């Protein structure tokens, strides 16, 4: 037996160190006590394991039922309200990007009603207007005819309501001005049409008193005749996409190169 104080060895049955007089502790008794404790702990663990093994099947079934119930009660509403709309939105965004890429465009105004100004296009046909790098592309969705206008040809683009166009198309004498002008804008056939509604001016009962439609007017210079012309599209309301189209076209116009 080793003395904990001086480190020297004594007989196993010694109670006092022969060298320093320190009271000796029998380490073997401590080891035996530790072993007994370990055996007891292992026995308890084994007992619990056996009990659990007996009811393990029931516990597993109950656990699976609980997990399934939680998944149904919380998972389905979460999928329906959050995950599914998000995935649907992502798919729609990808579809939109692919659609723009296939048309070599940065933006598209969809299903705008054509009014006048393009050959082989029929009034009231729906169109898509694409913003491309150096031009706009107009696709007639009814007959698939396509028209292009380069930004170098475009002189102006804006949105007007029918009241604005009609008022500016009629002169002080109540007669209709050819194609209508407002601050340098040429309205084209839409000005003649809305001006003609009022006939001889404000006294006519057909004069427009409420706003019924809005028109995107694109003024451009014809490359064949060098004449100023207008293309118009009609909508009962002004949408955010209409405003964005006009904004993008005007951005292109502000940045276009000027030939001297």
Is residue 174 pLDDT above 60, yes or no? no
DSSP state of 61: H
Q: What is the largest CA-CA distance in the chain?
A: 137
The per-residue pLDDT for 55 is 67
Q: What is the pLDDT of residues 51-61, one digit of tens each?
A: 766 666 666 67
Query: Which band of pLDDT confidence, cut at 50, 70 and 90, is reported for residue 205?
Result: very low
Exposed/middle/buried for residue 29 (C-beta within 10 Å: 0-12, 13-18, 19+): exposed
Query: Which band of pLDDT confidence, cut at 50, 70 and 90, is reported for residue 256?
Result: low
Average pLDDT, the chain: 76
Of the listed ranges 118-122, 171-175, 229-233, 254-258, the one predicted with least confidence: 171-175
Helix (H), strand (E), coil (C) string for 127-147: EEEEEECCEEEEEECCCCCEE
Better-scored residue on pLDDT, 236 or 203: 236
Residue 204, CA atoms < 13 Å, CB-side half-sphere: 16
Better-scored residue on pLDDT, 229 or 29: 229
Better-scored residue on pLDDT, 191 or 153: 153
Q: Give residue limits of the domains in the chain.
A: 106-255
Nearest-angstrom CA–CA distance, 238 and 107: 17
Is residue 124 pLDDT above 80, yes or no? yes
Predicted TM-score (pTM) of this structure = 0.56
Please tell me the CATH code under which domain 106-255 is placed.
2.30.29.30
Q: What is the pLDDT of residues 85-111, one digit of tens each?
A: 777 777 777 777 777 777 888 899 999
Residue 35 CA to its chain's centroid (Å): 67
Q: What is the pLDDT of residues 214-239, one digit of tens each?
A: 989 888 888 888 888 888 899 999 99
């Amino acid at each position: 037996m080793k003395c904990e104080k001086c480190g020297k060895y004594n007989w196993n049955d010694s109670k006092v160190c022969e060298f320093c007089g320190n009271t000796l502790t029998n380490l073997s008794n401590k080891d035996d006590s530790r072993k007994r404790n370990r055996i007891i702990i292992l026995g308890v663990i084994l007992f619990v394991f056996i009990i659990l093994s007996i009811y393990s099947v029931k516990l597993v079934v109950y656990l699976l039922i609980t997990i399934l119930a939680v998944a149904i009660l919380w998972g389905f509403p979460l999928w329906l309200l959050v995950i599914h709309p998000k995935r649907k939105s992502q798919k729609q965004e990808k579809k939109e990007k692919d659609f723009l890429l296939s048309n070599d465009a940065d933006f598209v105004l969809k299903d705008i009603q054509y009014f006048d100004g393009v050959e082989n296009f029929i009034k009231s046909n729906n169109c898509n207007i694409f913003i491309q790098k150096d031009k706009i592309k107009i696709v007639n969705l009814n007959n698939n005819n396509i028209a292009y206008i380069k930004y170098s040809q475009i002189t102006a683009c804006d949105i007007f309501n029918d009241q604005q166009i009609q008022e500016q198309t009629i002169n002080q004498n109540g007669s209709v001005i050819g194609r209508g002008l407002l601050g340098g804008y040429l309205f084209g056939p839409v000005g003649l049409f809305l001006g003609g509604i009022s006939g001889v001016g404000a006294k006519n009962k057909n004069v427009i008193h409420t706003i019924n439609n809005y028109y995107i007017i694109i003024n451009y210079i014809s490359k064949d005749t060098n004449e100023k012309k207008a293309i118009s599209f009609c909508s009962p309301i002004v949408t955010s996409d209409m405003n964005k189209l006009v904004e993008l076209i005007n951005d292109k116009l502000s940045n276009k190169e000027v030939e001297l």
